[in-house]
Structure 1
Amino acid sequence: MREANGVSGNALIASADAARNTGIDLLRGLAIVLVILNHIGIRIPLKKTLLAEFLPRSFLSNLNYNGYEAVFVFFVISGFLIAGNALRRWGDLARIDIKTFYALRFSRIVPCLLLLVVVLSVLHALSVQDYVIDRPGQSLPRAVLAALGLHLNWYEGMTGYLPGNWDVLWSLSIEEAFYIGFPIVCLLTRRVWILAPLLVLLAVSMPWTHSALTGNEIWQEKAYLPGMSAIAIGIIGALLAKRWPVLPTALTRSLIIVGSLGMLAEMFGGRLLWPLMGDSILLLLTVSTMLVLIALQARPVSTLRGFGWLASWGRLSYEIYLSHMFVVYAVVRVYRATGSDIRWGFLWYLLALPLCWRLGKAVARFVSIPCERALRARLVGRTAAFDPRMASSR
Structure 2
Amino acid sequence: MRGRNPGIDLLRGLSIVLVVLHHVGMRVPFKGSALGAVLPAWFLSALAWSGYEAVFVFFVVSGYLIATNALDRWGSLAAVDLRAFYARRASRILPCLLALVAVLAALHAAGAADYVIRRPGQSLGRAVLAALGLHLNWYEGVTGYLPGNWDVLWSLSIEEVFYLAFPIAALLTRRKGVLAAILAVLALSLPWSRAALQGTPIWQEKAYLPGMAGIAMGVLAALAQARPGPDARRLLAALGGAGLFAAIFLQTWLWPVLRNGDLLLLTGSAALLVIALHARGPAPLPFTGWLQAMGRLSYEIYLTHMFIVWPIVRLAKARPGPWAFLWHVPALLAAWGLGWLVAKALSQPAERALRTRLGEA
Q: TM-score, normalised by structure 2?
A: 0.98
2:354 aligned residue (375, 378, 383): 375
- SS of the residue 1:46 aligns to: coil
* Contact 1:44/1:342 (<8 A) preserved: no
1:290 is the counterpart of 2:290: no
How many residues end up aligned between the 2 structures?
A: 361
Which residue type is aligned with residue 118 of structure 1?
A: A
1:325 is the counterpart of 2:306: yes
- SS of the residue 1:304 aligns to: coil
Instruction: Please list, as runs of the form range in 1=range in 2, the aligned pairs for 1:165-204 lying within 5 A after superposition.
Output: 165-204=149-188
- How large is the RMSD of aligned CA atoms in angstroms? 1.0
2:326 aligned residue (343, 347, 356): 347
- SS of the residue 1:48 aligns to: coil
Q: Which runs of 5+ in 2 are unaligned?
A: none
* Contact 2:14/2:291 (<8 A) preserved: yes
Q: 4+ runs of 1 displaced by more than 2 Å?
A: none
Q: Which runs of 5+ in 1 are unaligned?
A: 1-15, 386-394
2:255 aligned residue (251, 270, 274): 274
Instruction: Please list, as runs of the form range in 1=range in 2, the aligned pairs for 1:60-71 lying within 5 A after superposition.
Output: 60-71=44-55
Which residue type is aligned with residue 365 of structure 1?
A: K
CA distance in 1, matches of 2:326, 2:111: 30
* Contact 1:237/1:294 (<8 A) preserved: yes
1:257 is the counterpart of 2:238: yes
Which residue type is aligned with residue 74 of structure 1?
A: F
Identity of aligned residues (%): 59
CA distance in 2, matches of 1:313, 1:365: 14
* Contact 2:158/2:208 (<8 A) preserved: yes
Shift of 1:342: 2.9
CA deviations on 1:282-337 (whole Å, 9 max, x unpaired) are 0000000000111112222521121100000000000000000000001112223x
- SS of the residue 1:364 aligns to: helix
Aligned to 2:290: 309
* Contact 2:28/2:316 (<8 A) preserved: no
CA distance in 2, matches of 1:295, 1:280: 23
Of the structure 1 ranges 285-294 and 47-56, higher mean CA displacement relative to structure 2 is found in 47-56
CA deviations on 1:99-151 (whole Å, 9 max, x unpaired) are 00000000000000000000000000000000000000000000000000000
CA distance in 2, matches of 1:320, 1:271: 29
Which residue type is aligned with residue 204 of structure 1?
A: L
Q: TM-score, normalised by structure 1?
A: 0.90
Aligned to 1:83: 67
- SS of the residue 1:302 aligns to: coil
2:85 aligned residue (101, 105, 115): 101
Aligned to 2:5: 21
1:364 is the counterpart of 2:333: no
Aligned to 1:56: 40
1:220 is the counterpart of 2:192: no
* Contact 1:160/1:218 (<8 A) preserved: yes
